[in-house]
A and B are shown apart, each in its own frame.
Chain A
C-alpha cells in the first residue's frame, strides 16, 4: 500500500468513527439541551441547539409535578436490595458451576441460556397471581424478589467467569496446607473474587434501577412506584408531554446508572475481554 492510500484509509476510518459517535451521542446531548431550555424557547418552532437562555426551571418543575424523590428512593431500595441479595446467593452457586462438572451445574447453565428467551409476559402473569395471593402486589419486597431472580442469570455468568480466573492451584495449595473447604473459600478465593463480585453487584444494580416492565405491572400506586414508571407519568394519556420537565426528569434518572457504569465499564468490557482471551 502506498502511504497516500494508507492516509486516505486512515482519514476514512476517523470519519466513520465520528459518524458513529454523532449517531450515538447526539440524542443524549439533545436531551440535555432540552432540559435547560425555558418554556418560551421550547415553544419556538425553530429549536436551538444550545439553549440561548439556560434555566433550571424545568428541574424545579419536574420535582413539583411528580414525586421524583420518593420514586428515586423506591428505585434505590429496590436496586440496592436486589443487587445485594442476588450477589450473596449467586456467588456460592457460581463457584460450584465454575469448579464442578455436576449435573446440577449443567442444568443451571442450561437454565441461564433458556431464561434469556422467556417472553416476560408468560412469567409475569403467574407471578402476578402468586404475589397477589401473598399480598405482595404493590409492594417493594415483591418487586425485589422478582428482580433478584431476574438478575441471577447475568450475575451467575459474570461470577462464573471471575471464579474461573482464580487459579485452582491456589485453592489446592491451601488444601494441602490443611485448610478446609470453607476456610479455603473464605480466606483464599473470596478476596480474589471481591472485585468481580463488586462489579457484578453494580451491574445488577443498574439492571434493577433501569427496569420497567415488572415495575409497571406490579406497582399500582404512585407512592410505591419506581423512577422509570413515574417518568412515564410525564407523558400524558394523550401522549402530550411537558417537554422541559420531561427532559429534566429523564436526565436525572439516568445519572446514577451513568456514574455506576463509568465505574465498572472497564471491568465489564475488560473482564469479558480477559475471559475471552484466557479460556
Chain B
C-alpha cells in the first residue's frame, strides 16, 4: 500500500523525464526482460481469463471447451449465493477500509508529533505488515478462541459476560473478521499517510498557529487539503485490495458460518478449484473487475486532480 504514496508523488517534478531524451532504441532492449514475462504471465492470462468467462470450460472435461456466449453471466444473475457473497464483500471492504483509514490517520498524526518513544512506536506499529496473512489469521484465531483466547478471558475478567465463540457466531463472525482486516492493513495505510504528512509545509502550520487557529482548525485548513490526494488514492486502493482479499478470511472462518463471511474471492476459488467450474468462476471474476474498474476510475480521477492541485 506504500505504492499509492510512491506513485502519487513520482512522475512529476524536476527530476522527472527529460523530453529531450525521448526516443532511444537502447531503451527497448532494457525493457524486454521485464516486458515479456509481464505480457506472457500477466496481461495474457488476464485476457484469457476474460475469454474463459464466455466458455463452458471445466476441469477434467474430455470434450472440447465451447463458446457459450453470455450463458455464464445469465446464470450468475440468478445465483443468489454469488450476490450474497458480493454483498458481504462490499460490507467487508467498507467495514475494513473506513475504520482502517480513520485509525491510521490518527496514528499517523500522533507519530508525526514530537513524542518520546516515537521511534519505538514506529517500529512496532509495522509488525503486522511483516506477518504472512496466514499467520495473522492463525494469530487472531488464538485471540478469539472461545476457551483459550485472550479476548474472552479479558471479558470474563472485566465481568462482561461469559464470552462467546466469535468466529462461528452468525452475528459476530463478520465483525470479528473485519477487526482482523483493520488490524492487518493499518501499518501500510499509516506509513502512506505519514509520508503525506511530511509534505505538509511546517511554515503554514506555524502561521496558522500564530493566527490563533486551534488544532482542529489547523487540521481542516492546513493538513487535510495537503493530505487529501494521498488519502483518496490510498482509500480507493485499500477498498479494492480488501474487496479482493482471500487468505485472511480463508484461515479465520473459511467463509463460515453458513456463508456469513464468504467473500467473492472465496466463492470464486471454491467454484473454480473445488467444483472445477473454470468458465463460471471466470465470469465471477469479470463481474468483480467491472465493479472494481469503476472504483479504479474514481481513484485515477482523484490522482489527476491531486496532480492539478500541486
Residues of A within 8 A of B (CB): 9, 13-14, 16-17, 20-21, 23-28, 30-31, 34, 42-47, 49, 88-90, 92-93, 95-96, 98-102, 104-105, 108-109, 111-130, 145-146, 148-149, 152-154, 156-158, 160-161, 164-165, 167-168, 181, 206, 209-213, 216-217, 227-228, 231-232, 234-235, 239, 241, 243, 246-247, 250-251, 253-254, 257-258, 260-262, 265, 268-269, 272-273, 275-279
**Chain B interfacial residues counted at CB < 8 A:** 118
**Which of A95, A113, A209, A262 has the most CB atoms of chain B within a 10 A radius of its CB?**
A113
Indicate if the CB atoms of A116 and B31 lie closer than 8 Å. Answer: no
B6 touches A96 (CB 8 A): no
Chain A residues with CB under 8 A of B149: 47
Q: Are A104 and B198 in contact (CB under 8 A)?
A: no
Given contacts A119-B268, A121-B284, contact A96 B132 (CB under 8 A): no
Q: What sequence of 0s and 1s flags, for each residue 224-242 of chain B, a beta carbon within 8 Å of any chain A beta carbon?
A: 0000000000000100110
CB-based contact A122/B131 at 8 Å: no
Minimum CB–CB distance from A112 to chain B (whole Å) comes to 8
Asked if B131 and A17 make an inter-chain contact with CB atoms under 8 angstroms apart, the answer reads no
Q: Is B158 an interface residue (CB 8 A)?
A: no
Highest count of chain B CB atoms <10 Å: which of A26, A90, A153, A213 = A213
Instruction: Produce 1/0 per residue, B257-272, CB < 8 A to A.
Output: 0000000110011001
> Which among B15, B30, B124, B198 is the interface contact of A277 at CB below 8 angstroms?
B198
Query: Separation in Å of the A91 CB from the closest CB of chain B?
Result: 9
- Nearest-neighbour CB distance to chain A for B293, whole angstroms, equals 7
Given known A-B contacts A120-B265, A232-B134, A253-B132, A104 and B292 have beta carbons under 8 A apart? no
Q: Determine the distance from Cα of A181 to Cα of B289 in the docked complex, in whole angstroms.
A: 41
A-side contacts of B117, CB under 8 Å:
17
User: B residues 1-38 with Cβ under 8 Å of A?
Assistant: 2-3, 5-7, 9-13, 15-19, 21-24, 26-28, 30-31, 33-35, 37-38
Which residues from chain B contact A246 at a C-beta distance below 8 Å?
138, 142
